Amino acid sequence: MIIQSESGRHATAGCEQPKNDVYALYFGMGQRISLIDDPRVFRVSPAGEAFAELITRRFGGRHRDARFLDLGTGSGVHAILLRQLGMRNVTASDISQKAVETARANELLNMGEPRIEFVHGDLFDAVLPGEGFDVILFNPPGWQTPSATFISALQKSTVAEGLALETMFYGEQTLRQFFREAPRYLKPGGKLIVGLNSLVGIADVMRDLYQMHEGCLHIDWSLLDRQEFPLLLYTEQWQALRPLLNEEVARWTSQGRAHCRFTAEGELFWSYEVIEFSFKPLKG
Ligand SMILES: C[S@@+](CC[C@H](N)C(=O)[O-])C[C@H]1O[C@@H](n2cnc3c(N)ncnc32)[C@H](O)[C@@H]1O
């Protein structure tokens, strides 16, 4: 038997195995989702919540027969929200097998029976393009490739292991590959909705995007939402490395490779920017 404790955490009666906690999020218009809190799976951040609210605003009550793909689904939050909003055709993928398993369990927790196609793979590797998607969502890793100093400090860290480095770092490399492949997976008139973190180096990501499709595709983009958030560190390991991480981010910013703002108290804020992209082949 699972008992909901006062703290909201789950305790177990008798000799049953302890269960992961469950946390609940609300995205407006009655859209509430409960998620298993597994330390190996990305916990939905304020940015992920802002992305979910945007999905509710933009797609609620419409586009039910459109084909949606949620890349880097993590806990499955955005895929489950789409299904809850009435979308009939949702596929979701993550490079982490643990994330995919947890996302499946989260769908059952919220919807009772499985309908979303969850697949495991690097970006589009496990995704069948079929006739293409109307909308591809991606809330990618938000931090860029760390320095050798940071990686070696992480390797030496004695604090318990947390999320894989790829969950939050190497974002600019992941985005380069994503933007290279994504247009092929869209239906004509289809759209990408991507949440970009200013710590990933948005100007460089955009320059890469234009260069890779130069002469082949016309690219349209519009900024749908922008908010500032404090840098939250979810794992003990990252919290232990906070001073080094702050230095890392300050260096990226001073070199023009990222943007952040420090308050007088030394708190670091970053900018979260949700952008819609569409592509048209250039004639000739
Ligand atoms: C910032 S988290 C977002 C998770 C979830 N969409 C959310 O908003 O809460 C990024 C996710 O992308 C996944 N990811 C990182 N690189 C990937 C890749 N190459 N292919 C697929 N998923 C990837 C990570 O495992 C992680 O779950």
DSSP string, 255-273: TTS---EE-TT--EEEEEE
Residue nearest ligand 1's atom 8 by CA:
48
Map tokens 């969502």 to a residue.
137
Ligand 1 probe mutation, 73, 145, 180, 225, most atoms within 8 A of CB: 73
Which is the closest atom of ligand 1 to the Cα of 99?
A: 27
Cβ 167 under 6 angstroms from ligand 1 = yes
Cβ 141 under 6 angstroms from ligand 1 = yes
Write out the chain's pLDDT in tens, 284 residues: 333 332 333 333 444 555 679 999 999 999 999 999 998 899 999 999 999 999 999 998 888 999 999 999 999 999 999 999 999 999 999 999 999 999 999 999 999 999 999 999 999 999 987 889 999 999 999 999 989 988 888 777 766 566 777 778 899 999 999 999 999 999 999 999 999 999 999 999 999 999 999 999 999 999 999 999 999 887 777 788 888 889 999 999 999 999 999 999 989 999 999 999 999 999 76
Residue nearest ligand 1's atom 11 by CA:
72
Cβ 77 under 6 angstroms from ligand 1 = yes
Q: Contact 268/191 with Cβ under 8 angstroms?
A: no
Residue nearest ligand 1's atom 15 by CA:
167
Strands 133-138 and 186-197, by their bridges, are parallel
How does pLDDT run across 251-279, given as a tens digit for each residue? 999 999 999 999 999 899 999 999 999 99
- For residue 3, the CA-to-ligand 1 centroid distance in Å is 31
Q: Contact 223/273 with Cβ under 8 angstroms?
A: yes
Compute how many other C-beta atoms are within 10 angstroms of the C-beta atom of residue 58: 16
Residue nearest ligand 1's atom 12 by CA:
72
How does pLDDT run across 167-209, given as a tens digit for each residue? 788 999 999 999 999 999 999 999 999 999 999 999 999 999 9
- Confidence (pLDDT) at 159: 60
Q: Give the Cα separation of 119 and 11 in Å (integer).
A: 31
Those residues whose C-beta lies under 8 Å from the C-beta of residue 255, and which sit 6 or more positions away, are none
Q: Is the pTM of this model over 0.75?
A: yes
Residue nearest ligand 1's atom 13 by CA:
72
Which is the closest atom of ligand 1 to the Cα of 43?
A: 9
Cβ 48 under 6 angstroms from ligand 1 = yes
Angle between helix 46-59 and 77-84 (nearest 10): 20
Cβ 195 under 6 angstroms from ligand 1 = no
Cβ 49 under 6 angstroms from ligand 1 = no
- For residue 167, the CA-to-ligand 1 centroid distance in Å is 6
- Domains in the chain, CATH or no CATH each: 42-281 (3.40.50.150)
Helix (H, G, I), strand (E, B) or coil at 180: helix
Cβ 122 under 6 angstroms from ligand 1 = yes
